[in-house]
C-alpha cells in the first residue's frame, strides 16, 4: 500500500460563522455570583446587531442568568454581584452613571410565561409609554407596536377589553408588543414559547424573524430545534464543577448555529445537542 | 440519553456492514464465475443481488424514518447521511457485479480464451476486494486517514483498466474475438467503477470524521502520475 496521503481535489469548506456585523454587546470575563456563590464564570463573547442569538444548555448552566445580565435584571436579585466587563455599544453597562431604568427601556425583555397586566389590551401597551413620558401620538404608538408584534388584526376591535381574555399565544405577542412600544434596541426573550402550543410557537418564531430586521434578539431556549430554526448564532452553556465541588455555569462554545448543529468544535456541545452525554 | 434513537442508529450501521460483507461475497462469486466461465455461478450472483436490494431498501427506509422522527444533529446527522450515501454506493457495486455475471454468461459460446485479460481482471478484482475491506474498516473505525488511502489503491485499478485495452487489442480480429474483447472491456470498466465507489465510501468516512465534504477523485482532473 502506498503511504502517500491522497489530497482531496475538490473540497467544500465547513460552514463558517457569518461575517461580523456591528457589535451590540461586548462581554469580557463576565462572572455572576449569588450571595458569594458563583453562578456563571468567565463568559466572553460579542453579540451582533440584527441577529438572533440563541443561548442553549442544560438547566442550571447560567444561560438565563447571562440573559438577565444584559439588561441588569440581576440588580433586582438580592445578593447578586456581577464581575467582568459588559459593554453595550461601547458603554459599560454597569458603569456608575448608567441608569438601570434607561437600560431596561433600550433592552426589553419577554418572559417564559406571558405576564400581561390585569388591564386592557391598550393599557398594557401604553403602560410603559406613559411611565416614560412618550405620550405624543399614544394611539399611533400602541397600534404600531401591536402591528409589529403581529397581533393587531386579532385585537384591533377589542383594545378596551382585558388582556387576560387573550389566549396564551396572543398574550405572549401582547407582551412582545409591550416590549417593542418603548422603542428598544434589543429584545431579550427567556423561553418565550415554552408555555405555548405548536401553532402559537410557530407564530412567535415567525415574529422573531420579522423583528430581527429592526432589533437585536437574544433568546434562551430549552428547545434545541427552536434554536436551530430561528437563530443565526448559538451559544452553548454548560455546568462545571469547581475544585470545592460547587457547580457553576460556563460558556462552552459560541459559533454560527449551522456549525453548532452540524459540526460543533467541542465534544461537550456535541454530547448535548445529540443527547449523548458523557 | 436518547437511547432508542442511538440504538436504532447502531442497528442501521450494523446492517450496512452486513450489506458490505454481502457485496464482498457477490464480488468474489462474480470474479470466480468469470475466471471459470461458470454460468451457474453467475446465476448465483444475480440471485444475490435481490438480497442486496432488499437490504438496501431496509436501510433506506430506516434512514428516512430516523430523519423524520429524530432530527439528528452534529455527529449523528453526519452518521445518518453517511449511512444513506454508503448504502447507495454498496448497492451500485452489487449492480456492477450483476453486469459482470450477465456478460460472463454471454461469453460461454464464443469459444475464445483470453488468459492474459482474465488474469489482469482477477488482479483488478482482488484490489477491489481490498478496497472495499479498507472502506468498511475505515467506516467502522472512523479512520479518515485509512479512508484517504483508498485513492492510492484506486489509482492502481485505473491503470490496470487502461492496460485492458492493450490486452483486448492483442486478442485477434475474428468476429468472436472482437465480441469477446468488447465484452471484456465492459467488465473491466465495471470492476474499475466498483473501485471508484469504494473511494466514494472513503469520502463519506472522511466527512463523518471531519465534517468536511470533499471529493478525493475528480474525473475532470488528470490522474496523478
Other beta carbons within 10 Å of B170: 12
A5 in contact with B at a CB cutoff of 8 Å?
yes
Domain covering B3-210 assigned CATH 3.40.50.620 in the classification: no
Closest alpha carbon to A227 in B6, B53, B71 = B71
Probe site for chain B from A2, A8, A256, A272 (most B CB atoms < 10 A): A8
Instruction: Using an 8 Å CB-CB cutoff, list chain B residues near A12.
Output: 212-214
A1 in contact with B at a CB cutoff of 8 Å?
yes
| DSSP-assigned letter for residue B55 | H
What residue has cell string 488511502?
B149
Beta bridge partners of A109: A188
> Across chain A, what does the average pLDDT equal?
90
DSSP B73-95: -HHHHHHHHHHHHHHHHHHHHHH
Q: Exposed, middle or buried: residue B3 (CB in 10 Å: 0-12, 13-18, 19+)?
A: exposed
pLDDT value at B116 more than 50: yes
Instruction: Using an 8 Å CB-CB cutoff, list chain A residues near B73.
Output: 224, 228, 261-262, 273-274
Is residue A192 within 8 Å of A219, Cβ to Cβ? yes
DSSP A184-227: -SEEEEESTTTTS-HHHHHHHHHHHHHHTTTSEEEEE-S-HHHH
Contact A5 B217 (CB under 8 A): no
C-alpha span between B9 and B63 (Å, rounded): 8
C-alpha span between B85 and B83 (Å, rounded): 6
Instruction: Using an 8 Å CB-CB cutoff, list chain A residues near B153.
Output: 1-2
Residue A1 C-alpha, separation from nearest chain B C-alpha, in angstroms: 7
What is the tens place of the pLDDT at every residue in A244-256? 888 999 999 999 9
What is the tens place of the pLDDT at every residue in B123-167? 999 999 999 999 999 999 999 999 999 999 999 898 888 888 888
Longest CA–CA separation in chain A, Å:
81
Q: Exposed, middle or buried: residue B108 (CB in 10 Å: 0-12, 13-18, 19+)?
A: exposed
Class (C level, CATH) for A23-274: alpha beta
**Who has greater pLDDT, B102 or B108?**
B102
Is residue A252 within 8 Å of A239, Cβ to Cβ? no
Instruction: Please give the backbone phi and psi of residue A45, each rounded to the nearest 5 degrees, phi first.
Output: -170, 160
What is the tens place of the pLDDT at every residue in B50-96? 999 999 999 999 999 999 888 899 999 999 999 999 999 999 999 99
Contact B211 A263 (CB under 8 A): yes
Query: Which of B150, B211, B216 is the closest to A262 by Cβ?
Result: B211
Contact A2 B149 (CB under 8 A): yes
Q: Which helix (H) or strand (E) holds A92?
A: strand A91-92
Tell me: ipTM over 0.85: no
Instruction: Using an 8 Å CB-CB cutoff, list chain A residues near B142.
Output: none
Is residue A147 within 8 Å of A180, Cβ to Cβ? no
C-alpha span between B112 and B110 (Å, rounded): 5
Instruction: Using an 8 Å CB-CB cutoff, list chain A residues near B2.
Output: 274-276
C-alpha span between A217 and A187 (Å, rounded): 5
C-alpha span between A176 and A180 (Å, rounded): 6
What is the tens place of the pLDDT at every residue in A149-188? 989 999 999 999 999 999 999 999 999 999 999 999 999 9
The distance from CA A1 to its chain's CA centroid, rounded to whole angstroms, is 54
Q: State residue B25's pLDDT score.
A: 97
| DSSP-assigned letter for residue B101 | H
Amino acid at each position: 500500500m502506498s503511504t502517500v496521503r491522497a489530497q482531496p481535489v475538490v473540497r467544500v469548506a465547513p460552514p463558517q460563522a457569518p461575517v461580523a456585523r456591528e457589535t451590540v454587546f461586548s462581554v469580557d470575563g463576565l462572572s455572576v455570583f449569588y450571595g458569594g456563590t458563583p453562578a456563571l464564570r468567565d463568559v466572553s463573547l460579542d453579540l451582533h446587531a440584527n441577529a438572533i442569538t440563541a443561548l442553549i444548555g442544560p438547566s442550571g448552566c447560567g444561560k438565563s442568568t447571562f440573559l438577565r445580565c444584559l439588561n441588569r435584571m440581576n440588580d433586582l436579585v438580592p445578593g447578586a454581584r456581577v464581575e467582568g466587563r459588559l459593554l453595550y455599544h461601547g458603554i459599560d453597562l454597569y458603569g456608575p452613571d448608567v441608569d438601570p431604568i434607561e437600560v431596561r427601556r433600550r433592552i426589553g425583555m419577554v418572559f417564559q410565561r406571558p405576564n400581561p397586566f390585569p388591564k386592557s389590551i391598550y393599557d398594557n401597551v401604553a403602560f410603559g409609554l406613559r411611565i416614560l413620558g412618550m405620550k405624543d401620538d399614544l394611539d399611533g404608538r400602541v397600534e404600531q407596536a401591536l402591528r409589529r408584534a403581529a397581533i393587531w388584526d386579532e385585537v384591533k376591535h377589542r383594545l378596551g377589553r382585558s388582556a387576560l381574555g387573550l389566549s396564551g399565544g396572543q398574550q405572549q405577542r401582547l407582551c412582545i408588543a409591550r416590549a417593542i412600544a418603548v422603542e428598544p434596541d434589543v429584545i431579550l426573550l427567556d423561553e418565550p414559547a415554552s408555555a405555548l402550543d405548536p401553532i402559537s410557537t410557530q407564530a412567535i418564531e415567525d415574529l422573531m424573524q420579522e423583528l430581527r430586521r429592526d432589533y437585536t434578539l437574544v433568546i434562551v431556549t430549552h428547545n434545541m430545534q427552536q434554536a436551530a430554526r430561528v437563530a443565526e448564532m448559538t451559544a452553548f452553556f454548560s455546568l462545571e464543577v469547581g475544585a470545592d465541588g460547587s457547580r457553576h455555569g460556563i460558556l462552552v462554545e459560541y459559533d454560527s448555529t449551522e456549525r453548532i448543529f452540524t459540526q460543533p468544535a467541542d465534544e461537550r456541545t456535541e454530547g448535548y445537542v445529540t443527547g449523548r452525554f458523557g | 440519553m436518547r437511547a432508542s434513537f442511538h440504538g436504532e442508529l447502531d442497528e442501521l450501521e450494523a446492517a450496512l456492514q452486513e450489506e458490505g460483507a454481502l457485496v464482498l461475497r457477490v464480488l468474489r462469486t462474480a470474479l470466480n464465475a468469470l475466471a471459470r466461465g461458470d454460468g451457474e455461478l453467475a446465476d448465483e450472483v444475480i440471485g444475490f443481488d435481490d438480497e442486496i436490494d432488499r437490504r438496501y431498501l431496509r436501510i433506506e427506509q430506516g434512514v428516512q424514518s430516523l430523519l423524520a422522527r429524530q432530527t439528528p444533529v452534529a455527529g449523528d446527522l453526519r452518521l445518518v447521511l453517511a449511512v444513506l450515501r454508503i448504502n447507495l454506493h454498496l448497492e451500485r457495486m452489487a449492480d456492477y457485479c450483476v453486469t459482470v455475471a450477465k456478460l460472463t454468461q454471454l461469453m460461454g459460446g464464443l469459444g475464445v480464451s483470453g488468459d492474459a485479460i482474465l488474469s489482469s481482471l482477477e488482479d483488478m478484482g482482488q484490489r477491489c476486494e481490498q478496497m472495499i475491506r479498507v472502506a468498511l474498516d475505515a467506516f467502522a473505525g472512523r479512520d479518515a486517514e485509512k479512508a484517504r488511502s483508498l485513492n492510492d489503491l484506486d489509482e492502481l485499478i485505473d491503470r490496470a483498466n487502461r492496460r485492458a485495452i492493450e490486452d483486448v487489442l492483442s486478442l485477434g480480429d475474428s468476429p468472436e474475438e472482437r465480441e469477446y474483447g468488447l465484452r471484456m472491456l465492459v467488465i473491466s470498466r465495471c470492476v474499475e467503477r466498483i473501485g471508484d465507489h469504494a473511494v466514494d465510501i472513503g469520502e463519506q468516512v472522511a466527512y463523518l470524521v471531519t465534517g468536511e465534504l470533499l471529493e478525493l477523485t475528480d474525473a475532470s482532473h488528470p490522474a496523478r502520475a
